[in-house]
C-alpha cells in the first residue's frame, strides 16, 4: 500500500488572530466518492456524463440578506476541463473496441428551491457567475441547496465512455473556488461581497479569501465511471498550535495539533485502519525541542501523545475504526523536562517530525 507523509512543526510561540466574520456563510460538503455516471431527465435528458462535486447551503450573520449568490473562479474552469481515457471506437466481431480519447466538461450549478423548483445554470463567465437562473430579493429562505456538477459537453455518453474505466484529468484543473453575493437586490454585477465558505477568513478590504475552497477533499486527478476504486487515505495535520511550555510540565499535557485522515472510495459498511508513525530528524525513539530547530543546540526533552499512547519515534501506532469521510485524533505533548526548560537559553524552540501513514487491510 502507499504511504503519505506530512511535516509537523512544533513552535514555542504565542499566536493570536481575530478575523472579522463574513456576513454570508456557506457550508460546502464535497461529494465522496467522486464517480462519473450518466445523467437522466429532467436535469440531464441528453445522457451527459456527470459527477457530483459537492453541495452547498447558506446561512447569514445578523439576518444579512442573500442576493444573487455567485460562483467565483479561482482556478480557470470556465473554459472547461478535459478528462482522458477509453473512448468508443468501433465494433469488432460484435464487441465494442475502445481507444484513448478525451472528453470536455463544464461545471453546472443545480439549485433546489422551496416549492420543488429546481434550476440549472452553467458556470461560464469571469470573474463570477450567478448560480440561479433568475432571482429577485433575498434568497436565503428560498434556497434549499446548490449542487455543483461536472457535466460533459457531449451527449449520449453511455455509448462513448467505457463503464468501469477511470478517466484522468488532463487539461486545466479543479483546484479551488470562492462564493460571493450581490451587495443589494440590484444584481451581482453592480457590486458583490465575498462569502465565507467552510469558515474561510474574508479580508476586510473586500478582496477574495485565500486560499479558495477546494472542490474535493483532495486534489482531483482521476474519476472512475460507474465503479469505486480502492480506498484512498489522505493525511492532514490541522490546528498546529504554539503552546505555553509550562502547560506540559511533568504530568500535564496540552494539545498541539490534530491528525485528520480523510477516507474516500470506501464502503460505508466497513471500517478501515492505518499504522501511523512519527519520526524526528535524528531517527531517535525520544523527542526533544531544540533551540532554533538546530539539533546541535540546547534541547528540552518531551513526550508526544497520540491515540492515548506515548509515542516512540519510528514505531507505528494503530489507528482503527476509520470510516468514510473525515476522521480526527488529537496530538498532544507532555512530560516536558521542567528543569531543562527553566535553564534554557532564551529563544524559539522547535521540533520537526515526519508523520507517515501506512494503510492496513480492511478490518
Predicted confidence at residue 240, as pLDDT, reads: 75
Predicted confidence at residue 329, as pLDDT, reads: 95
- Mapped onto helix, strand or coil, the DSSP state of residue 318 is strand
Query: Distance between CA atoms of 56 and 146, rounded to whole angstroms?
Result: 5
Q: What is the average pLDDT across 4-16? A: 37
Cβ neighbours for 342, distance < 8 A, ≥ 6 positions apart: none
Q: Which three cell numbers stand for residue 54?
A: 459537492
CATH 2.60.40, domain 4-16+231-359, yes or no? yes
Span of 5-14, 47-56, 177-186, 198-207 with lowest mean pLDDT: 5-14
What residue ranges of the chain are covered by domains with CATH 2.60.40?
4-16+231-359
Percent of all residues in the chain with a pLDDT value above 70, rounded to a whole number:
88
Q: What is the average pLDDT across 288-293? A: 84
Q: What is the average pLDDT across 283-304? A: 87
Span of 27-31, 99-103, 181-185, 307-311 with lowest mean pLDDT: 181-185
Q: What is the average pLDDT across 287-302? A: 86
Predicted confidence at residue 4, as pLDDT, reads: 44
pLDDT at 19 exceeding the cut of 80: no
Q: What is the average pLDDT across 214-232? A: 81
pLDDT at 228 exceeding the cut of 70: no
Position with higher pLDDT, 88 vs 360: 88
Is the dihedral angle over the CA atoms 315, 330, 3, 320 positive or is it negative?
positive
Predicted confidence at residue 14, as pLDDT, reads: 29
How far are the Cα atoms of 57, 241, 300, 332, 342 from residue 339, in angstroms, in the given order?
52, 23, 9, 20, 5
Predicted confidence at residue 245, as pLDDT, reads: 85
Burial (CB < 10 A; 0-12, 13-18, 19+), residue 85, is: buried
| Residues forming a β-bridge with 16 | none
Q: Which three cell numbers stand for residue 306?
A: 497520540
- Among the residues of the chain, which ranges form H helices? 338-342
Predicted confidence at residue 165, as pLDDT, reads: 87
Which range has highest mean pLDDT (48-52, 137-141, 239-243, 319-323)?
48-52
Q: Residue written as cell 482531483?
A: 220
Which pLDDT band, with edges at 50, 70 and 90, does 363 fall under? very low
Mean of all residue pLDDT scores within the chain: 84
Span of 2-6, 91-95, 109-113, 328-332 with lowest mean pLDDT: 2-6
Span of 2-6, 206-210, 352-356 with lowest mean pLDDT: 2-6
Amino acid at each position: 500500500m502507499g504511504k503519505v507523509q506530512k511535516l509537523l512543526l512544533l513552535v514555542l510561540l504565542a499566536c493570536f488572530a481575530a478575523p472579522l466574520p463574513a456576513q454570508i456563510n456557506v457550508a460546502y460538503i464535497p461529494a465522496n466518492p467522486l464517480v462519473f455516471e450518466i445523467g437522466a431527465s429532467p436535469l440531464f435528458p441528453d445522457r451527459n456524463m456527470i459527477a457530483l462535486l459537492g453541495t452547498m447551503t447558506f446561512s447569514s450573520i445578523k439576518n444579512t440578506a442573500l442576493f444573487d449568490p455567485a460562483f467565483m473562479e479561482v482556478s480557470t474552469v470556465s473554459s472547461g476541463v478535459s478528462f482522458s481515457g477509453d473512448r468508443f471506437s468501433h465494433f469488432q466481431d460484435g464487441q465494442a473496441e475502445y481507444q484513448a480519447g478525451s472528453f470536455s466538461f463544464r461545471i453546472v450549478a443545480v439549485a433546489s428551491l422551496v416549492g420543488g423548483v429546481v434550476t440549472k445554470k452553467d458556470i461560464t463567465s469571469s470573474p463570477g457567475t450567478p448560480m440561479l437562473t433568475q432571482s429577485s430579493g433575498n434568497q436565503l429562505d428560498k434556497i434549499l441547496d446548490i449542487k455543483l456538477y461536472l457535466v460533459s459537453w457531449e451527449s449520449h455518453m453511455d455509448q462513448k465512455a467505457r463503464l468501469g474505466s477511470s478517466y484522468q484529468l488532463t487539461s486545466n484543473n479543479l483546484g479551488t473556488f470562492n462564493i460571493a453575493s450581490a451587495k443589494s437586490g440590484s444584481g451581482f454585477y453592480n457590486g458583490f461581497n465575498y462569502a465565507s465558505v467552510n469558515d474561510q477568513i474574508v479580508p476586510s478590504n473586500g478582496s477574495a479569501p485565500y486560499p479558495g475552497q477546494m472542490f474535493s477533499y483532495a486534489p482531483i486527478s482521476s474519476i472512475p465511471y460507474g465503479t469505486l476504486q480502492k480506498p484512498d487515505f489522505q493525511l492532514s495535520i490541522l490546528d498546529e498550535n504554539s503552546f505555553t511550555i509550562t502547560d506540559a510540565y511533568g504530568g500535564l499535557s496540552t494539545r498541539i495539533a490534530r491528525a485528520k485522515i480523510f477516507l474516500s472510495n470506501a464502503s460505508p459498511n466497513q471500517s478501515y485502519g492505518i499504522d501511523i508513525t512519527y519520526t524526528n530528524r535524528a531517527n531517535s525513539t525520544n523527542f526533544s525541542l531544540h533551540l532554533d530547530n538546530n539539533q546541535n543546540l540546547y534541547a528540552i526533552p518531551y513526550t508526544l501523545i497520540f491515540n492515548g499512547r506515548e509515542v516512540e519515534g519510528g514505531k507505528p501506532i494503530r489507528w482503527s475504526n476509520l470510516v468514510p469521510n473525515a476522521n480526527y485524533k488529537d496530538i498532544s505533548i507532555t512530560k516536558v523536562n521542567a528543569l531543562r526548560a527553566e535553564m534554557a537559553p532564551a529563544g524559539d524552540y522547535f521540533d520537526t517530525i515526519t508523520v507517515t501513514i501506512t494503510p492496513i487491510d480492511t478490518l
